[in-house]
Structure 1
Amino acid sequence: MLAKWKLREVILMVVLAIVCGGLYRVWDVINALVPTTAYALQAAMTGFWMIAGVLVPYIIRRPLAALIAELVAAAVELLLGGQFGLGTMESGLIQGIGSEIAFLIFAYRMFNLSSCMLSGTLASLAYLVQWYFQYGGKSLDLGTMLLSIMISLVSGAILGGWLPKLMGDALKRTGAVRNYAIAKDGRAIPQ
């Protein structure tokens, strides 16, 4: 599948993933300031870690873009001292698969607000499996767990889906991505 990619697409994917990895590391620091018992606030922050898996495929529109972008971003976050250790790479893999599934459902033909929000939501849902088993989700009482799950899914849709779409649209308006699939639609950007 990567054989169909153009070199400029690979370069842009890596650059955007590196930027997202740096942002993730900053988000790690902010997240560490939130008490671990502030479950709703922790859950509300979840979607931010899904940005690379939506932004890159929204611009490039190639199979595996979400998965690779999340893995590269996770590697950068880890190399910059991310406090989650190798769990960062697990999260990148899991979230990347979740994001990728959304675009796969539409056969990589629909890139709009709905597909981006679904991608962010599925990435968050995939992460919630890791959160449940690895990060203590299963130790919460049922009400707190369900509230955390619902907030995480909404965060995935908004911070992980809608926000990267806005970012991609902003890049399109600047002309910075005029040589990529996002600019070649020839249509108004679907909402």
Structure 2
Amino acid sequence: MASSKKSVFAAFTTMEIVLMAMLATANAVMTTYISPINQALNTLGGPIATSSITGIYMIYGLLAYYIIRKPGTAVITYGIGGVVQAFMGTAYGIASCFVAAACYMVIAELVFAIVRYRKWNLGVLMIAGGAMVPIWFFFAANMFHYTKWGTSILLIALGVRIVSGILLCGLLTQVLGSALIRTQLLRRFAISRGQGA
């Protein structure tokens, strides 16, 4: 029992920290290129259309957790992501980088704590992807004045964002993780050892 607890709360290796930093940096770069797509969607379909790609913005932290499978992974990965994105610049303001990162890390850590870091199946990933959406949406609604949309639009946009989180964050995390396993690039990580189900 003691050895099991020790392995769950083991310190991060250099490889794991490098992976988290790489994913966070890749996300910051990706976000820069997604911004024009987001603006185009806003022009075509307003807040509901832009809500459809929300899951993409969150995937890097969940993917890191799926690969590394250690408590604190979301805190480090989303934390680095917020800092890098703030340095690279964002159309949404520096504050949004850190508030979003904080919202994502808290919920992701909570979800995996609830399952005691033992379940890494698609269902848990999809729950995590969807659960990360509402708390950030609440803060974003106040920061970016979404309240002017009206209650019905707000609720529809929230629903679309949750579905996006489930699919483009939760489901896509497993798809990407499985693809990376086949490349043998993740041999030194917990995902390759099949820890959890």
Instruction: Provide the TM-score with structure 1 as the length reference.
Output: 0.89
Q: Does 1:129 align with 2:138?
A: yes
CA RMSD of aligned residues (A): 2.0
In 1: Cα distance, 2:195 partner to 2:170 partner: 22
In 2: Cα distance, 1:79 partner to 1:2 partner: 31
Q: Which moves more between the two structures, 150-159 or 177-186?
A: 177-186
| Corresponding residue number in structure 2 for 1:160 | 169
Q: CA deviation at 1:56?
A: 0.2
User: Which of these residues, 76, 79, 85, is aligned with residue 87 of structure 2?
Assistant: 79
User: Which of these residues, 154, 179, 189, is aligned with residue 188 of structure 2?
Assistant: 179
In 2: Cα distance, 1:31 partner to 1:120 partner: 19
Q: Which moves more between the two structures, 2-11 or 90-99?
A: 2-11
Contact 2:24 2:78 in 1 (8 A): yes
**Structure 2 counterparts to residues 93-108 of structure 1, below 5 A:** 93-108=102-117
Q: Larger Cα Rg: Structure 1 or Structure 2?
A: 2
Structure 1 residue runs without a partner (length 5+): none
The one-character-per-residue Cα deviations of 1:29-76 (angstroms, maximum 9, x if unpaired) are 321333366121111121111111210000000111122212212222
| Corresponding residue number in structure 2 for 1:35 | 42
Query: Percent identity at matched positions?
Result: 26
In 2: Cα distance, 1:2 partner to 1:31 partner: 38
In 2: Cα distance, 1:75 partner to 1:162 partner: 26
Alignment-mate amino acid for residue 114 of structure 2: I
Instruction: Provide the TM-score with structure 2 as the length reference.
Output: 0.87
Q: CA deviation at 1:150?
A: 0.6
- Number of aligned positions between the proteins: 188
Q: Does 1:145 align with 2:154?
A: yes
Contact 2:82 2:98 in 1 (8 A): yes
Q: Does 1:57 align with 2:59?
A: no
Q: Does 1:48 align with 2:56?
A: yes
Contact 2:23 2:61 in 1 (8 A): no
Distance 1:2-1:89 versus aligned 2 partners, 3 A rule: farther
Q: CA deviation at 1:170?
A: 0.8
Q: Which moves more between the two structures, 177-186 or 54-63?
A: 177-186
Structure 2 residue runs without a partner (length 5+): 1-7
Moved beyond 6 Å, runs of 4+ = none
Contact 2:99 2:136 in 1 (8 A): no
| Corresponding residue number in structure 1 for 2:99 | 90
| Corresponding residue number in structure 1 for 2:4 | none
Distance 1:99-1:29 versus aligned 2 partners, 3 A rule: farther
Q: CA deviation at 1:186?
A: 7.3
In 2: Cα distance, 1:56 partner to 1:75 partner: 17
In 2: Cα distance, 1:13 partner to 1:162 partner: 19
